[in-house]
Amino acid sequence: MAKLVFDIETSALGLENFDEAQLEYLFRDAEKQPDDTAKALKRVEIQQQFSLWPFTAQVVCIAMVNADTGRGQVLFQSDDFEEEGGGSGGVEFAPQVDEQELLTAFWDIARRYDEVVTFNGRGFDVPFLYLRSALLNVPISRKDWLGYRFATEPHCDLAEQFTFYNVSGRDGAARRFNLDFYCRAFGIPSPKAEGITGRDINDLLAEGRHRDIAEYCLRDVRATVELYKLWKERLAGVK
């Protein structure tokens, strides 16, 4: 069955996108701090988390690879959306005019696949995509990726598999590590080896480095493909 491995990159929306009531709600914890310095630090901390929430951030890139063929596509927002996307090892880079177009293209591709593979997709990527699509009124072609948690079809979340569904909590033998750590442990080339991490996305977007975001997202997906193959060979079926 065709398996699509994907990952998303998100970027915080500017404060101008929220009204007074929303800003009051978002920064409520900052106003509880004892002094102006503490309030300012808390506001910075809160704003740094905007990229994690679909009501305060947007999807700027989605990279996808067929787990069996290695072919795929990277959809990414770009100011110069008519530029030639080029390719890399069977993967096409496809600039998009905005988030709505990007999500529409993604759901058109997703409907052609029987299964998906992610790393922490159940906790982040999938609900983020669902909610952003709903906000922008983009039809969702696959609404079954957050179904029964203890199954690997149609959605195999490797973060769940390598922790055996969080069997030992935060500090036990099967505690969760990030994708970079698992890759380094198993000898898979790290997607962060070239110096870019998810924390850099906001700055890269502000600098107009859209292709760098796309390349980084693709490295994440390729690492996830390799981790999936390793899991399938050595751990699939463990209960």
Res 192: pLDDT: 81
Give the integer Cα–Cα distance in Å for 7 and 48: 20
Query: What is the rounded average pLDDT of the residues 197-204?
Result: 86
Res 200: pLDDT: 86
The one-letter code for the residue type at 115 is E
User: Residues 125-174: pLDDT tens digits?
Assistant: 999 999 999 999 999 999 999 999 999 999 999 999 999 999 998 889 99
Give the list of residues 6+ apart from residue 156 with CB closer than 8 angstroms, or none: 3, 115, 116, 117, 118, 228
pLDDT at 191 over 90: no
Give the integer Cα–Cα distance in Å for 204 and 175: 31
Query: What is the rounded average pLDDT of the residues 65-75?
Result: 96
Q: 171 vs 194, which has greater pLDDT?
A: 171
pLDDT at 89 over 90: no
pLDDT at 198 over 60: yes
Res 177: pLDDT: 96
User: Residues 225-234: pLDDT tens digits?
Assistant: 999 999 999 9
Q: Which domains does the chain have, with CATH numbers?
A: 3-12+62-234 (3.30.420.10), 19-55 (no CATH)
Cα-based angle 144, 145, 149 (whole degrees, multiple of 5): 105
Cβ neighbours, 10 Å, residue 107: 15
Cα-based angle 52, 104, 95 (whole degrees, multiple of 5): 80
Q: What is the dihedral of CA 225, 227, 230, 232, to 10 degrees?
A: -70
Res 217: pLDDT: 96
pLDDT at 238 over 90: no
User: Residues 90-136: pLDDT tens digits?
Assistant: 999 999 999 999 999 999 999 999 999 999 999 999 999 999 999 99
User: Residues 7-56: pLDDT tens digits?
Assistant: 999 999 999 999 999 999 999 999 999 999 999 999 999 999 999 999 99
Query: What is the rounded average pLDDT of the residues 56-75?
Result: 97
Per the CB < 8 A criterion, the answer to whether 194 and 201 are in contact is: no
pLDDT at 83 over 60: no
Q: What's the pTM?
A: 0.94
Strand-by-strand arrangement of the 72-77 sheet: 87-88, 91-96, 72-77, 57-66, 3-12, 115-118, 155-157
